[in-house]
Structure 1
């Protein structure tokens, strides 16, 4: 069953006639949810440092001012109260809002990796790649390897990696998924030539949030990922694994890598 996509707030427009399956719609919503909470986490983290500094300097300033000057003392008190209000806001609104994905529950069970790849790739091909004229190539060394983890969560992470790669690719380009496993870990790597024009083009279908695609092209601090990949990072870490995003200039090869232990120790 398919339903016409009406998009979400901030989402790219979907051309008339392009249909989105119920599963794809759910994956879009999950991607947006994890991205929202990831941004809130960054806001909480990045604001606490300056707020702590302001609070500390307020005490230094208080000792330098005339204790008998009511205006100066009122100003310092106002600074400290303002900082306290902002910290309380972070704790009661920002941190509380993140609670839904902060602790990620996993439904772990053994499953075969090769069918997971086939199903996810088929979904991305039919859901977006064909409409965008992008080829998805699979280079898999997997045979009968199994992973003890949350199959649905890992499928969502892989779907997001491939979907972003397709959205970042121009018509006629190819996205490659390389998958292998050693004695202890599963490795899934997506490579593609990232194009800002492809991410911006309003005439082709888009499944991901417009502002997320824009942010993904901006410079990132060391070890930080683009917001759109928050789901990938959270799912990988919950399985005791990791997610990595390589930096790549325009039209050069970019890499998204997911590494997960075959017998994951849950790390929520």
Structure 2
């Protein structure tokens, strides 16, 4: 089922040369916040391994050196102290800064899923898709299914998935949102064909320029583009999952969200 409709909240903020609604501006800012904290998480994780190795090798080196040589002992002590200082910085600055999203507060209440799809798709249409001449099609198998979770957070996750897909699509393309529910979970998948439009400065954009540029870079296995951190964090907080699959010769790119219908916290 392909849907389209008109009407949007009053346009206020301006992003990349065109006006967007206050809600779109809020979601854009929230996405940037989660991306920042996601990057800090990666920095914290990726630095700890090398720092631990340096610390361990410092002890190995110390046993090989002359204990009566003050210069050698001072050098080893300096290495260990430097590592300790870096670890402390990670704990007091990097990890502390992440606190805002590390423990994600959720408001659980049952809500129907079907309206969520159409409301969110319309927000993306009015916020970016129409100005980019990109269609959003909804193929939904949902009827009266309900999910017990944080509706606002899940709407933000879905908004980001659709917005990223629109950002990645060329003029005239179609982004497809497919949604269904099985006995235990709600599934939402956004498929799209990638193009150079993602970081083309001549086009209107909603997402941060830095985030869009990074999203075009090669990713390590099982890692998502940084800008999609909000979608992943919201899914995980509900006890679900989020995956990003790049395009192949046989299939377009896909963003996939899965959330239990009776969601439980997994923060």
Is the CA contact (8 Å cut-off) linking 1:193 and 1:251 kept in structure 2?
no
- Cα distance in 2 for partners of 1:198, 1:249 equals 18
- Cα distance in 1 for partners of 2:46, 2:205 equals 30
Unaligned runs of 5+ in 1: 8-13
Unaligned runs of 5+ in 2: 1-9
2:222 is aligned to: 223
What secondary structure sits across from 1:157 in the alignment? helix
Q: Runs (4+) of structure 1 moved beyond 3 Å? A: 249-252
2:126 is aligned to: 126
Q: CA deviation at 1:266?
A: 1.4
Aligned length: 258
Q: CA deviation at 1:121?
A: 0.5
- Cα distance in 1 for partners of 2:200, 2:249 equals 15
- Cα distance in 2 for partners of 1:106, 1:230 equals 16
RMSD after superposition: 1.3
Q: CA deviation at 1:4?
A: 3.2
1:48 is aligned to: 48
2:201 is aligned to: 202
Q: CA deviation at 1:251?
A: 11
Q: CA deviation at 1:147?
A: 0.4
1:88 is aligned to: 88
Provide, for residues 200-238 of structure 1, a one-character-per-residue CA deviation record: whole Å limited to 9, x for no partner.
Answer: 211211111111111111122221111111100110011
1:140 is aligned to: 140
What secondary structure sits across from 1:68 in the alignment? coil
Q: CA deviation at 1:252?
A: 6.2
- Cα distance in 2 for partners of 1:247, 1:48 equals 29
Q: CA deviation at 1:249?
A: 5.6
- Cα distance in 1 for partners of 2:264, 2:141 equals 24
- 1:234 is aligned to 2:233: yes
Q: CA deviation at 1:166?
A: 0.2
- Cα distance in 2 for partners of 1:164, 1:98 equals 23
Range moving further from structure 2, 119-128 or 243-252: 243-252
Provide, for residues 26-71 of structure 1, a one-character-per-residue CA deviation record: whole Å limited to 9, x for no partner.
Answer: 1001100000000000000000000000000001001111111111
- Cα distance in 1 for partners of 2:89, 2:173 equals 46
- Cα distance in 2 for partners of 1:27, 1:221 equals 27
2:12 is aligned to: 3
What secondary structure sits across from 1:230 in the alignment? helix
Is the CA contact (8 Å cut-off) linking 2:13 and 2:25 kept in structure 1?
no
1:117 is aligned to: 117
2:97 is aligned to: 97
- 1:183 is aligned to 2:192: no
Provide, for residues 99-135 of structure 1, a one-character-per-residue CA deviation record: whole Å limited to 9, x for no partner.
Answer: 0000001011000000000100011111100000101
Provide, for residues 145-203 of structure 1, a one-character-per-residue CA deviation record: whole Å limited to 9, x for no partner.
Answer: 100000000000000000000000000011000001111110000000011x2012112
Is the CA contact (8 Å cut-off) linking 1:242 and 1:258 kept in structure 2?
yes
Is the CA contact (8 Å cut-off) linking 1:135 and 1:173 kept in structure 2?
yes
Is the CA contact (8 Å cut-off) linking 2:231 and 2:242 kept in structure 1?
yes
Is the CA contact (8 Å cut-off) linking 2:13 and 2:22 kept in structure 1?
no
